[in-house]
Amino acid sequence: MLPDNPYQFTKPEHFPEPTYTFDNNPITKEGFELGKKLFNDPRLSSDKSTACSNCHSKVVAFADPQHSLSIGVNNRVGKRNAPAIQNMAFMREFFWDGGVVHLDFVPPNAIENKLEMDEKMTNVVQFLNRDKEYTNLFRAAFGEIDSINTPMMLHAFSQYMNLLISDNSKYDQYLKGETELTTKELAGLKLFEQNCESCHSGVLFTNQAYANNGLDETFKDLGRALISEWEGDEGKFKIPSLRNVELTAPYMHDGRFETLEEVLLHYRNGVKKSATLAPELNNGEQLGIPLTAKEEEQIIVFLKTLTDRDFISNSIF
């Protein structure tokens, strides 16, 4: 059920408390719509070709269905897959390596990244101040201001992203007693709880930690270790939420898997051993998760109950 005021942040009853500091940046209709315009504006990039929405498409839970690695200005190929944007208000850290710890500072990383939007924040702010439509929109959102500044812009972005809440999948309806899961879905749920829940835990379907899930023996991308500068984090990446996972292919930090079947096949017999491999996947001589083809099928059937059609069709997004 949609809230009476769709522009007001309302925590779903079965969700944890948000991590975002709303006291500093309460959401308003004007701020949200300004953030949406910024999110979709390619003029914020150096060659005026690339908006945030280029790599984060609403119809697939704000992921990128077309590219294994994100594509930026001048068709530059990025280093990682663009993750879905959903339930950001509840996340502690952002990006595959957790290099940002507050949602307000996510946009500058994309804007200034040479392989993404390749623009300086100062240039973006100057552009916004020269644009009459934007100056009017910022005044509507933040009051009678003399000029637009970076914090205002980042707050607008966050107002938009904070309302991108996915909480009405079939699984959510099941938790609330509004529907039943089928026999096959329940079997998949049980298998998921036995084999996957230690990492993809809670209603967010992520424990928000970092793990090496056995993709490689040596690491072209060091992942979390690039931030922590600790060799024990090499090959570890942020455990993604599985909400809307049916929609967010390709999978993994480098988009190497096209289907959920490929993902589960990896966990069954494709896990590679290395010094930092997650202990859940390293049981002595047995690597990975022993699953039959039938069990994999049941898990995928369950994972599809995490698809939230209301989320991807919400007209205000």
The residues carrying an active-site annotation are: 116
The closest of 86, 96, 110, 114 to 251, measured between CA atoms, is 96
